[in-house]
Amino acid sequence: MRTYAVDLHTHTRFFHGRRSLGDRFDPLGVRLLVAAARRRGLDGIATTNHDYYTPFDPAVHVETLPGIEITTDRGHVLVVGPDPPAETEPEALSPGEAVELAHDHDCAAIVAHPFRNSTVRELEDVPFDAIEVNGKHPRSRPLVTKLADKRDLPMVGGSDAHYPFEVGRAYTVVEAERLTPEALVDAIRDDRVSARVSGSSFDRLLRRGYRSVHRRKRVIDAIERPTPGVGTPPGEDETTDAGGEVEVGERMKAEDEDGTDAEAGTELPSDTD
């Protein structure tokens, strides 16, 4: 069994929805994502565009895994696996219907950014396969951990990258014989995955910027404390402890050096990430 570092939440364009210009840009967008992933030492990325899936040619050195981010009437659901739905109508499906659709396509269904612009996490009877630690707001990790423990679900990491430089700020360690869409689904359902968050200086600065923007837009829930560091992509350098993870106290200190308070605000279901 090998371990692979995979960013499970990336977008090939910086805007949402299907537009003709965007469709023409997507092949270039995925090449830029792959190049960024390779620089950061990742083994793969899942392309999870909003409400549509486009197959891409295989990349060299970095596996591109199929996916889609479905906009339900309660928030976003990530779907990854061998045969994701080709297209969904925004807000037409409930989270339960999105999960059923994912499972019908032999894919895993993941609660995306559960504490930003979403109430999907409140649905206890929907059979999700995992919960995401999102790279835009990893300070919510203690809340995600509590939610995952309560639901007995694994946690995965994804950057939610809309620009190549965002790739890898959060990612998933996958245990599998080979990195294929089918093996990814099996690993998620067998709890052979774990979430990681980059602690690099650039990624910390980027997160502070997003916290400021989303605080003003009021699309994030209040977070009571900073997130303990849990590693960086394999190609990044960072001070770690013996177990390969960042010392919690040092990371918390680093996160607070700019005087930024924990996120505050409420969710606006009509907004997008």
Tell me the pLDDT tens digit for each residue of 70-110: 999 999 999 999 999 999 999 999 999 999 999 999 999 99
Write phi, then psi, for 90 (nearest 5 degrees): -55, 130
Across the chain, what does the average pLDDT equal?
80
Position 264 in a domain: no
Q: Are residues 10 and 99 in the same domain?
A: yes
pLDDT in tens, 151-208: 999 999 999 999 999 999 999 999 999 999 999 999 999 999 999 998 888 777 777 7
CB of 33 within 8 A of CB of 160? no
Residue 13: the pLDDT is 86
Query: Looking at residues 125-133, what average pLDDT do you find?
Result: 98
Q: Are residues 171 and 208 in the same domain?
A: no
Question: Which domain does 222 fall in, by range?
Answer: 201-256
Query: 141 vs 226, which has greater pLDDT?
Result: 141
Q: Are residues 162 and 226 in the same domain?
A: no
Query: Element (H or E) spanning 187, and its range?
Result: helix 181-189
- CATH number, position 42: 3.20.20.140
Position 152 in a domain: yes
Q: Are residues 108 and 213 in the same domain?
A: no
Percent of the chain with pLDDT over 90: 61
Query: 231 vs 59, which has greater pLDDT?
Result: 59
Q: Are residues 66 and 98 in the same domain?
A: yes
Integer Cα distance of 17 and 87 in angstroms: 11
Q: Are residues 88 and 170 in the same domain?
A: yes
207: Cβ contacts below 8 Å, ≥ 6 apart: 135, 136, 137, 138, 139, 169
Position 268 in a domain: no
Residue 263: the pLDDT is 29
Residue 116: the pLDDT is 85
Position 272 in a domain: no
Position 262 in a domain: no
pLDDT in tens, 45-72: 999 999 999 999 888 889 999 999 999 9
Q: Are residues 111 and 215 in the same domain?
A: no
Handedness of CA 7, 130, 154, 215 (dihedral sign): positive
Query: Looking at residues 136-140, what average pLDDT do you find?
Result: 83
Residue 17: the pLDDT is 60
Q: Are residues 88 and 192 in the same domain?
A: yes
- Please count the structural domains in the chain: 2
- From 95-99, 111-115, 253-257, the region with the lowest mean pLDDT: 253-257
Residue 103: the pLDDT is 99
Q: Are residues 125 and 148 in the same domain?
A: yes
Rg (CA), the chain: 17
Position 218 in a domain: yes
Position 122 in a domain: yes
Token pair recorded at residue 268: 């606006």
**pLDDT of 225 higher than 70:** no
Q: Are residues 210 and 191 in the same domain?
A: no
Q: Are residues 189 and 224 in the same domain?
A: no
**pLDDT of 209 higher than 60:** yes
Q: Are residues 129 and 175 in the same domain?
A: yes
